[in-house]
Amino acid sequence: MAPLDSRPFSTFFRSGPTLTPPPLVLASTSKYRAELLSRLRVPFQTAAPQVDESPLPGENTHDIALRLAEAKARAVASRFPDALIIGSDQVADLDGQPIGKPGTRERAVAQLQAVSGKSVVFHTALALFNAATGRLQIRVVPTTVSFRQLGAQSIHRYLDLEPAFDCAGSAKSEGLGIALIAALEGSDPNALVGLPLIALTDMLLAENYPVLE
């Protein structure tokens, strides 16, 4: 009897001419998510999903993020019928209530006052939709952020130096905002910025997408 071949099963599909991987589409206009995805050094394009992000009655923050990540991925599928489409959404939870992007300095000050000395859970949902097969992979990667006690002077000084008006929680953990944070708890630091790259790599590999090959 011939010995069993110990090569990974997926290699049998890569013998002979190299197959062209499907297009990769990021269903987002977020510059933060695009920068994160570029770290994987795979070709991709972006597309703006037209999705109503209003929460449904009684919907918790975890479920809001999960639903919107899937909705964003599916929203652009008709434009990219052969693509792997990435959808992502993040909802921050403070004492059971969602907090969004402040948009203005006044709201950012109010947010930082509200999170001072408290913990906020950032639910970052990720969806990978194979438009060609209809297969959906979806996951939520939570990150708990514990904020320091923040005085008015520190809050205003921070916003002078880094006006994080487009970030839920009003602080950029990848920048000076880390000085406002006492502790982080999560499985992927990229999730807090907006795109869980560890989970995304798992999903791409499950689709036989050659991330490092």
Cα dist. 156→108, 136, 150, 182 in Å?
10, 43, 10, 18
Coil, helix or strand at residue 24: strand
Residue type, position 173, single letter: S
The residue from 5, 52, 82, 89 that is catalytic is 89
89 is catalytic: yes
Tell me if 49 sits within 8 A of 79, measured CB to CB: no
Cα dist. 104→2, 117, 124, 154, 185 in Å?
69, 22, 23, 17, 28
Tell me if 91 sits within 8 A of 61, measured CB to CB: yes
**What sign has the CA pseudo-torsion 145, 73, 132, 43?**
negative
- Which are the catalytic amino acids? 89
